[in-house]
Structure 1
Amino acid sequence: MSSRKTAVVPRPGLVDRVRGALVAVRPRLRDDAAPLPDAGVTEMLGQIGATLLASSQATNDVEATLNDLAEQYECRNLRIFVLPTLILIEDTGTTPSQTAIFPADHDALRLDQSAAMERLVRDAGVSRTLPETVVATISRIRSEPPRFGPVLSVVGYMLLTVGFGMVLNPTVTALPVYVVLGALVGVIVFIGSRSQTLSLILPVLTAFSVTLLISVLVRPIVHDDVLRLVAPSLVSFLPGLTLTIAAVELTSGQMMAGASRLVYGIARLGLLAFGVYVGISVGGQPPTSTGTAEQLGAWAPWVGILLVSLGYYLFSASPRGSLVWILYALVVAYSAQLLGNLLLGAELSGLIGAVIVIPAVYLAGRLKAAPSTAIMLTCAYWLLVPGAMGFIGLSEAAAGTAGATTTLLRTFASLFAIAIGMMLGAGFSRDFTAISRGWRSASHKDEEEN
């Protein structure tokens, strides 16, 4: 009588169980992001548009880019509509006409991913790359892990917090608070972004945690306003760039896109303000500045800009060789904003800043050693946008602080000033490029005739 041996399956250990649990709560990749083997120009344009929206571009800019690509691929029968959350492409060459819908991913791209997308779009337009190849490259770009590990990412966020805090010209006692809050929030962002459930309440949870920490632990030593301490540590949650893009879309006639993006930005500010309000309610109202500690001085914002550039380089995984150019964009933006403050006042300083920084970035982008202009512009916008002002204004309103309405009105005035400056700066850059091309073509024509 023969006996059959049963294979023994090893039971998973604790490490395997923990790894499986972490993988289970990670956000799943969208099925629509996978490349299609028979993808045509329509599929390619939809994937490009959805990815460009994730790199914080305005809908009118994305629409112009897609129309240019359709023209370069000789697909003149396509009508393209871009909204903040989806792309609509209608093929009028068929009877009846067919419309393809491409949902936009809500996960923002890192700086290296934005740069890779800009290069891909430029090369595709020049060489008319096969649509299947472009779609596959987009999928690879979106799935690439950051080149810096979690430790450097947290260090980068801490530098961002300290840098933005120093731009506000804080007191000496605020610096160690920025270091602690930056490291704490950096860890929260790293862990929360990998949990599908936790990411939903991450803005409120983070704002509540840092406010409660300040209210309970640093009450005796800090001689600065609580909101000036909290705002820099929430830099990745502040929707300043979203609000500014909304203002750009509204001023350029994109009513649906601008209005929906504006409502989203205000709602995000409201969530952060609610977290601060709950933190103050639980921990108690921290004392206001007593005036015993002096601010660092006029040199602090310039050191802050250096730390912000290094923080962006690490936290957002900027490409190699881009640190100097990020610093260049931030210095130009801040210098132009100081000039605007002298000429027009604080509320309209962003107009001068945007008018100057956009042509300066496009001019630097012509150099061979310069990185993608998307990297420099994104960092410059973060320094210009008044997201911290709106956050402080809503938090003051929630806490019943006098003058909160004035702060909110100044915030919206700054938003539209920056939006107008961005449109003027981009327009000047396009006109200069067109004039230089016409000048060169005329010179070549004269040489050929002679």
Structure 2
Amino acid sequence: MISTFIAIAVLLASAVLLIALRPRAERDIAISARAARITGSMPVASTDAPDAAAALAAAEAVGGSMIQAGYSVETVQDVLRDIAHVNNLPESEVLVFPNALLVSARGQGQHRTGAVAGADGQLLLSQIDEVQRTVDAARTGVLDPASTVKRIERIRDMPPTYGRVVRVIGYAFLSGALSVLLGASWTGVSLSAALGLITGAALLLSERVPRRYGALITVGIAFVVAVVVFSLLRAGWGSGILAALLAPLVVLLPGALLTTAVLELSMGHMISGAGRAAAGAMQLVLLSAGIVTAGALVGVPDFDFARHPDLLGPVAPWIAVAVFGISISVHRCAPRRAIPWILLVLYIAYAAQVLGDVFLGGVVSAFVGALCVTPVTALVARQPTGPAALVSFTPAFSLLVPGAIGLVGVADVLGGDRAAAASLVATLSTMVAIALGVLAGSSLSNRMRRPAL
């Protein structure tokens, strides 16, 4: 009951704040002056002669960076079509996949075609924010193609906002905070933070490892975490440490990937949607393989994954949301000016989910959370210091934890548990609910050209 009142108060306070804030002017105005000072770029005019080669290079650079940032194929296609039109190449065609794109720049007798493969690694939140600024400028003609390519190159070379040690510590706090939201005891929170420290260090070290070894790293991390948790469970530490099995693996859970897959399938992008779904399912299988192997080695005690006792009181989760927001901002290197906005979006997401769970149930609460968060991120992106919608949406999405139930379900399947079907059905329902919530909320965010995915 206390948590419900807090959720209502948070939503009311957030609504007042968003209404009171004066909507920002379009980002293009600020970018225009900035781009002119930094790059000497002149806005593209409708009377300019088209340059298919230059426009193609700009589309390849922007499209490749957006794919690496995690935007959906629908959003990437819309942006690249806008870039083609603003550069007087209205006949251009674009074909986007989750890890590649094909662009054909055509118009006024010119025709150039190019293909780009997705780059390895994931962009940091600070890089994603700059990519969105460049997208806003390029799609409206504020940046010419040559300046667009140069800006993307500089973004790829941006150093992380925080050092490696600070990012690892941030992941430890992230893991501990998430364990509070999953119902851990103080012992479970401490264990989650310790395992998060190990996982965070392993994730940063893995950035230098070739992508072909990624599967081994995923299985290895899940195995180490599960061995520790299962061993302590057998030693009698109690169910309060169960959250430590999932919290340190939050970054590896493919919740965003699977939800984007459902979203793209619902919009008719069959190839990309099916590809993302297969990749997300494989990631779950790898994580589950590590957990099942650990269980076979040390033995799994009889306990219920679905049981999340409220051991720390109704106020603790609300404090954990703030810790989680700051920690994930540090670990993913969000711009410092974006942290207050990220916290605002996180509290709105969590409050909406709490109220949705009270009145509508667990699965529908995921829909409510996604429905509320998507337009809010677009409104935040219009503020003078607001980050790109994807920057504030990514941490909020992690609170919904759609992959956690699926991880348990796949682990049960591999372990021969007949009850696993219920977990997998719940995961599928949650993914569909979140995707529908994002799709419904996108009607406003896309109108403001601030897509969350």
| TM-score when normalising by structure 2 | 0.82
Structure 2 distance, partners of 1:89, 1:125, is 15
Structure 2 distance, partners of 1:198, 1:238, is 17
User: Structure 1 residues 72, 97: CA separation in 2 closer, same or farther (over 3 Å shift)?
Assistant: closer
Structure 1 distance, partners of 2:346, 2:213, is 33
Q: Describe how 1:355-394 pairs up with structure 2 within 5 A.
A: 355-394=371-410
* Range that drifts further, 198-207 or 280-289: 280-289
Structure 1 distance, partners of 2:252, 2:393, is 19
CA contact (8 A) 1:166 1:303 kept: no
Structure 1 distance, partners of 2:130, 2:111, is 33
Percent identity reads 29
User: Structure 1 residues 49, 430: CA separation in 2 closer, same or farther (over 3 Å shift)?
Assistant: closer
Aligned to 1:397: 413
Aligned to 2:334: 318
Aligned to 1:60: 74
Q: Describe how 1:5-404 pairs up with structure 2 within 5 A.
A: 40-93=54-107, 99-196=113-210, 198-217=213-232, 219-224=234-239, 228-288=243-303, 295-404=311-420
Structure 2 distance, partners of 1:294, 1:322, is 31
Structure 1 distance, partners of 2:134, 2:107, is 27
CA deviation after TM superposition for structure 1 residue 97, in Å:
5.9
CA contact (8 A) 2:95 2:101 kept: yes
Structure 2 distance, partners of 1:172, 1:359, is 35
Deviations 1:199-229 (A, max 9, x none): 4411101001111122335642521277632
User: Structure 1 residues 94, 256: CA separation in 2 closer, same or farther (over 3 Å shift)?
Assistant: farther
CA contact (8 A) 1:174 1:222 kept: no
Structure 1 distance, partners of 2:57, 2:227, is 48
CA contact (8 A) 1:161 1:182 kept: yes
CA deviation after TM superposition for structure 1 residue 91, in Å:
3.6
Structure 2 distance, partners of 1:73, 1:254, is 26
Specify the SS of the correspondent of 1:420: helix
* Range that drifts further, 280-289 or 69-78: 280-289
CA deviation after TM superposition for structure 1 residue 135, in Å:
1.4
Structure 2 distance, partners of 1:269, 1:398, is 11
CA contact (8 A) 2:58 2:145 kept: yes
CA contact (8 A) 1:169 1:300 kept: no
CA deviation after TM superposition for structure 1 residue 385, in Å:
4.5
| Number of corresponding residues | 396
User: Of the candidates 423, 437, 448, which is equivalent to residue 407 of structure 1?
Assistant: 423
Give the aligned residue type for 2:56.
T
User: Structure 1 residues 279, 86: CA separation in 2 closer, same or farther (over 3 Å shift)?
Assistant: same
Structure 2 distance, partners of 1:143, 1:361, is 26
Structure 2 distance, partners of 1:218, 1:201, is 25
CA contact (8 A) 2:178 2:324 kept: yes
Give the aligned residue type for 1:212.
V
Structure showing greater Rg = 1
Give the aligned residue type for 1:163.
A
CA contact (8 A) 1:244 1:385 kept: no
Give the aligned residue type for 1:373.
A
Where structure 2 has 5 or more consecutive residues not aligned to the other structure, the ranges are 1-51
CA contact (8 A) 1:171 1:223 kept: no
* Range that drifts further, 219-228 or 253-262: 219-228
CA deviation after TM superposition for structure 1 residue 414, in Å:
0.9
CA deviation after TM superposition for structure 1 residue 429, in Å:
3.8
Structure 2 distance, partners of 1:107, 1:118, is 18
Structure 1 distance, partners of 2:410, 2:204, is 26
Deviations 1:114-146 (A, max 9, x none): 001001111223443232222122122112221
Where structure 1 has 5 or more consecutive residues not aligned to the other structure, the ranges are 1-37, 435-450
* Range that drifts further, 150-159 or 334-343: 334-343
